[in-house]
Amino acid sequence: MSVMQDTFLGEILGGVILAGDSLVLKTTYGVRKVQVLATGVESEDGQINIDQNKGSSVKVLEHVDPLAYYDTFANQLGEEKQSAVIGSFDEQRRMWSVPRI
């Protein structure tokens, strides 16, 4: 998987976890020490490494029930009232090209 795919999947996972019911999703968390790279090298900046010696402690998702996750995600896709509605790319391009007043 590419970094872009990982990022997109991580955003979906995060959205489902935040919007879902933790009892249904059966989420468990752990604490890990991580370090975020800031080397000035574009392909490395933002990478997260587990570093037990120098890292900062963060709460990390360790488990989620996969069937409950997919069920929650599918139900959210079926909701008619969503906070953001995305149209076609052409519609989006028209909206972006009109200057805001």
The pLDDT of residue 30: 94
Which of 96, 78, 76 shows the shortest CA–CA distance to 87? 96
| Residues of the domain holding 71 | 1-24+64-101
Task: Please indicate, yes or no, whether residues 15 and 39 belong to a single structural domain of this protein.
Answer: no
Task: Please indicate, yes or no, whether residues 40 and 57 belong to a single structural domain of this protein.
Answer: yes
Task: Please indicate, yes or no, whether residues 9 and 42 belong to a single structural domain of this protein.
Answer: no
Task: Please indicate, yes or no, whether residues 68 and 57 belong to a single structural domain of this protein.
Answer: no
Residue with tokens 């391009």: 93
Number of domains in the chain: 2
The pLDDT of residue 17: 86
Ranges under pLDDT 50 in the chain: none
**Separation CA 60–CA 31 (nearest Å):** 6
Task: Please indicate, yes or no, whether residues 37 and 69 belong to a single structural domain of this protein.
Answer: no
Task: Please indicate, yes or no, whether residues 69 and 59 belong to a single structural domain of this protein.
Answer: no
